[in-house]
């Protein structure tokens, strides 16, 4: 990569360029430091500094895609223009690989390009020249030196003027060009397929194992008699070139296929065995396993197998680390079969009305777990088997509960606050007065603001987690509003910030990383690679949030305390579930731990990052973006959903640019998370960050109702923003809510996209509701089914099956 600082058209206008010559989708995650800032926190740059295609990240950073400026360029790059007369002291950045999610820093720290001479050289500065007059200490110390030197005692105004003059004098920039090496890990994938059939003559089970791996691939294998999967050596005969290994397993060298494209071998197993176990050995140091476990092929049902049953497995690896053991994915056919058997069992017993509701819930819960496991295994393609299961399920009446953390599937979420709600000081009481009204509109879940004492009045910089006196109200008022919503039949989500926490005290170095209150953690609770807060914990398992100490969730005492706190909120306040803030900051497996401990009715995580852009325009294919969200859901084992940021971003471009073709992916399905894992997609068009008075990523003006026409008629769990409910959009939103409830549209409803063209998008949902967006023409087909018009607005229209 390169970093270049050069003069623009004159001494007052300069340009910083960052480029990378490795192919891929690169993002510059950047911000600025202003003169007079203390610490290492970032701020967002002025809007005129932001290159085209830039996206705001919270309130502290910008993400800008790198692109080739001309055909034939070797580097993708981004240019940032700035005025030297501004009060910006430095530009800070890290480079992000959008394809892999990897972040590239400078010596373990953020890159820093100083624009003033007196910044400290703290090891991460790029382009520092010997001609820079580096002053010891920060600007605050410099100011003290100026004041001491001012023996004339000419007053505050004079010393302030001298500071300004000094700032300008010390902003003598020198251009530079610096190249730094970076390494990108490339993921490679291989496959293994195992076909299983029963020999009609010998009654033995025949397994044909094939792989596209090349070279001397050895199968280390055995059999087992039950689900305990204890290895045994079967009786002979064995394939040629098989040896016995320590009387515990067999090793067979696979034979190369014709043409050299992979290798294969046929294995014979007696029908008494329940399973076939194996791992693949490439060399003495490299073993390919199934998610750290042995590959397992069930054989118990081989007597009723068709002539041939094929089970395919993906084997991902890392080209840069071929000698290390890597996690492998496993077969999916067995899991899919289990799902279908469970669904068939559920459907047949429902029709006979012999199964209790508890048994129904148990079966459906098992289906959800198997689906989550199967998606983990087969994550590189759309999980079509989820849809097959959903189609069969929708024929029967859904039970009251499907899966912990994901509700019944019929939830409609209301975000019950905006960015300004704290200002009244009595928001809980104001919201309580609207409980009956919100329930009557059709909302079943309300998301309340963060309840804890916080450095910021909005609640997203929590300090004492057990202190529930916030700017929204006190603990008694919180309990009161929760009870009121329960009385009107609504569930309540608490907004919990688990990624970071503000400290009460400074350590010996003056860094704020010592906590007080009931959870009086020390700096071991802060991640070690957060450069701003000098933690003594382990490295972060996610992205750092720069404004507060990032909590190390790998620490046992931290997880124990957080689980106790969440359980206390459930029991003491009455929360039914959680909205999880900034889940990009820590591994989804920790979320799974917290949700299993608290058993929420519903939970949703905020995983927000930039979509894919090319030359400043949004790409049609956003699979990589929605895959990252799904990867997080999957890391949490499907115990929580996630906000469908992908769908929001695509709606922005489709509606604002009249490009409605964007609302269908390459397979004719919805292009967001809702198209791949609808039961875990929480769709929305606006929230307190993107809209309200912050406006970080505001929905295209005047097109909000098109957005609601989409999310309120489609699968997923829709979330409606408070500001829109109590606005001139209310009547239209109310009509769409009625359509959804009347036709029992749920998170797994089936969508048939019938048009996705430049000026019109149209879809039929569950064969009950037809809708269209855009100025183009569409009418639902007339035939065996009659349609009646229900509601319409600017560039949208909805019909119901008569």
Task: Evaluate the omega torsion of the peptide bond into residue 237 and state whether it is cis, within 30 degrees of 0.
Answer: yes
**Contact between residue 78 and residue 10 where contact means Cβ atoms under 8 Å apart:** no
Q: Which helix (H) or strand (E) holds 717?
A: strand 717-721
Question: How many helices and strands in the chain, by DSSP H and E?
Answer: 15, 38
- What angle is formed at CA 675 by the lines to CA 740 and CA 783, rounded to 5 degrees? 55
Q: Quick one: how far is CA 562 from the chain centroid?
A: 21
Give kind and range of the element (H or E) at residue 763: strand 761-765
Active site includes 117?
A: no
CA-to-CA distance for 552 and 513, rounded, in angstroms? Answer: 12
Among residues 679, 579, 665, which one has the least CA distance to residue 625?
Answer: 665
State how far the Cα of 493 lies from the Cα of 496, in Å rounded to an integer.
9
Contact yes or no for 338/296 (Cβ under 8 A): no
* Strand, coil or helix: 757: coil
For β-strands 577-580 and 602-605, DSSP reports them as parallel
Phi, psi of 195, rounded to the nearest 5 degrees: -100, 135
DSSP 460: S
Quote the CA–CA distance of 244 and 256 in Å, as a whole number: 21
CB count within 10 Å of CB 645 equals 26
Respond yes or no: is residue 294 known to be catalytic: no
Kindly provide the b/e burial profile for residues 537-575, where b requires at least 16 CB atoms within 10 angstroms of the residue's own CB. beebbbbbbbbbbbbbbbbeebbebbbebbeebbeebbb
Residue 235 DSSP label: P
Of the residues 581, 593, 609, 723, which is catalytic? 581
* 622, two tokens: 């956003």
Residue 354: CB atoms within 10 A of its CB come to 9
SS3 percent helix, strand, coil of the chain, rounded to 5, is 25, 25, 45
The two three-digit tokens of residue 118, written as one number: 């007196």
Contact yes or no for 36/139 (Cβ under 8 A): yes
Annotated catalytic residue, options 63, 606, 609, 659: 606
**Strand bridging mode 641-643 / 602-605:** parallel
Cβ neighbours of residue 664 under 8 Å, at least 6 residues apart? 670, 671, 753, 756, 761
Catalytic residues: 581, 606
């Amino acid at each position: 990569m390169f970093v270049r600082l050069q003069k623009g058209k004159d001494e007052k206008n300069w340009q910083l360029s960052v480029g990378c010559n490795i192919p891929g989708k690169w993002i510059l995650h950047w911000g600025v430091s202003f003169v007079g800032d203390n610490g290492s926190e970032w701020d967002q740059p002025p809007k005129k500094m932001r290159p085209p295609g830039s996206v705001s990240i919270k309130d502290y950073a910008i993400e800008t895609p790198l692109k080739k400026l001309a055909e034939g360029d070797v580097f993708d790059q981004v240019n940032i223009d700035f005025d030297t007369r501004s009060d910006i002291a430095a530009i800070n950045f890290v480079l992000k690989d959008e394809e892999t999610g990897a972040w590239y820093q400078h010596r373990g720290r953020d890159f820093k390009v100083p624009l003033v001479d007196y910044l400290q050289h703290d090891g991460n500065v790029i382009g520092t020249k010997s001609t820079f007059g580096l002053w010891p200490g920060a600007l605050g110390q410099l100011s003290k030196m100026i004041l001491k030197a001012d023996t004339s005692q000419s007053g505050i105004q004079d010393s302030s003027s001298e500071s300004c003059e000094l700032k300008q004098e010390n902003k003598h920039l020198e251009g530079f060009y610096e190249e730094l090496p970076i390494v990108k890990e490339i993921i490679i994938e291989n496959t293994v397929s195992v076909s299983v059939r029963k020999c009609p003559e010998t009654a033995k089970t025949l397994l044909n194992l094939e792989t596209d791996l090349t070279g001397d691939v050895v199968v280390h294998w055995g059999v087992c008699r039950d689900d305990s999967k204890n290895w045994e050596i079967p009786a002979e005969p064995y394939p040629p070139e098989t040896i016995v290994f320590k009387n515990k397993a067999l090793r067979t060298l696979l034979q190369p296929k014709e043409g050299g494209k992979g290798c294969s071998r046929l294995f014979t197993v007696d029908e008494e065995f329940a399973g076939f176990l194996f791992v693949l050995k490439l060399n003495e140091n490299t073993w390919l396993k199934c998610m750290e476990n042995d590959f397992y092929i069930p054989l118990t049902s081989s007597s009723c197998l068709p002539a041939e049953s094929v089970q395919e497995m993906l084997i991902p690896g890392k080209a840069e680390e071929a000698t290390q053991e890597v996690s492998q994915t496993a077969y999916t056919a067995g899991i899919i079969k289990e799902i279908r058997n469970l669904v068939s069992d559920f459907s047949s017993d429902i029709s006979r009305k012999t199964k209790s509701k508890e048994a129904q819930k148990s079966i459906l819960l098992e289906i959800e777990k198997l689906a989550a496991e199967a998606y983990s295994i087969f994550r590189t393609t759309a999980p079509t088997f989820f849809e097959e299961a959903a189609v069969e399920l929708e024929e029967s009446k859904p039970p009251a509960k499907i899966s912990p953390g994901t509700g019944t599937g019929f939830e409609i979420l209301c975000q019950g606050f905006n960015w300004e709600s704290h200002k009244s000081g009595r928001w809980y009481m104001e919201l309580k007065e609207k409980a009956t009204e919100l329930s009557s509109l059709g909302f079943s879940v309300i998301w309340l603001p963060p309840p804890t004492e916080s450095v910021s009045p909005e609640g997203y910089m929590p300090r004492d987690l057990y202190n529930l006196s916030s700017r929204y109200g006190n603990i008694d008022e919180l309990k009161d509003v929760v009870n009121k919503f329960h009385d009107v039949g609504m569930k309540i989500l608490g907004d919990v910030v688990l990624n970071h926490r503000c400290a009460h005290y400074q350590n010996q170095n003056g860094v704020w990383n010592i906590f007080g209150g009931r959870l009086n953690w020390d700096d071991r609770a802060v991640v070690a690679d957060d450069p701003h807060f000098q933690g003594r914990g382990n490295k972060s398992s996610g992205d750092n949030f720069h404004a507060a100490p990032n909590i190390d969730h790998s620490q046992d005492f931290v997880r124990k305390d957080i689980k106790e706190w969440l359980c206390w909120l459930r029991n003491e306040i009455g929360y039914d579930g959680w909205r999880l803030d900034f889940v990009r900051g820590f591994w989804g497996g920790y979320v799974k731990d917290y949700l299993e401990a608290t058993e929420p009715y519903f939970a949703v995580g905020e995983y927000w990052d930039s979509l894919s852009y090319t030359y400043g325009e949004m790409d049609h294919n956003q699979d990589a973006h929605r895959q990252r969200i799904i990867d997080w859901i999957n890391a949490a084992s499907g115990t929580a959903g996630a906000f469908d940021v992908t769908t929001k971003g695509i709606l922005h471009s489709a509606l604002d640019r009249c490009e409605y073709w964007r609302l269908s992916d390459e397979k004719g399905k919805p292009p967001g998370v809702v198209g791949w894992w609808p039961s875990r997609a929480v769709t929305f068009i606006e929230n307190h960050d993107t809209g309200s008075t912050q406006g970080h990523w505001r929905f295209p003006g005047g097109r909000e109702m098109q957005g609601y026409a989409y999310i309120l008629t489609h699968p997923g769990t829709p979330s409606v923003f408070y500001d829109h409910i109590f606005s001139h959009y209310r009547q239209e939103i109310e009509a769409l809510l009625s359509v959804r409830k009347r036709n029992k549209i749920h998170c797994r409803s089936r969508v048939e996209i019938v048009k996705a063209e430049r000026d019109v998008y149209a879809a039929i949902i569950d064969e009950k509701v037809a809708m269209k967006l855009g100025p183009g023409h569409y009418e639902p087909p007339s035939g065996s089914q009659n349609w009646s018009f229900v509601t319409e607005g600017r560039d949208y229209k909805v019909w119901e099956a008569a």
